[in-house]
Amino acid sequence: MQPLVQIAASVPATALFPVLLLGLIQTGGGLEIGSVALMMLGTMWYLLFNVIAGAQSIPSELFEAAQVYKLSLVQRWKTLILPEFFLI
């Protein structure tokens, strides 16, 4: 999935703004909502790639230990994944 996401990220957010603006005009949204959406589109890719890099930096041994201890998905997020993101 990462190569597809990188291809989509190569399209600048400003190129998507006319399409977004046309959609907002159809639904009755204003330019205030459009400007917020443009800012979200511009920052979304940076956040996504940082999250992917953070997830890839977690050692596989920790995931194996989570399987051995039979941690649930919620427990894995609380004890393994979220703490690793705060260390980065």
**pLDDT single digits (tens) 26-80:** 877 667 777 777 778 778 777 877 877 877 888 889 889 999 999 999 998 888 8
Would you state the pLDDT for residue 88? Answer: 55
Token pair of 8 as six digits: 């989509």
pLDDT higher than threshold 90 for residue 5: no
Amino acid (one-letter) located at 5: V
pTM beyond 0.75: the answer is no
Is residue 41 within 8 Å of 13, Cβ to Cβ?
yes
Would you state the pLDDT for residue 69? Answer: 93
What's the CA gap between 67 and 25, in Å, rounded? 50
Domain ranges of the chain: 1-56, 58-88
Would you state the pLDDT for residue 67? Answer: 92
3-state helix, strand, coil in the chain (%, to 5): 85, 0, 15
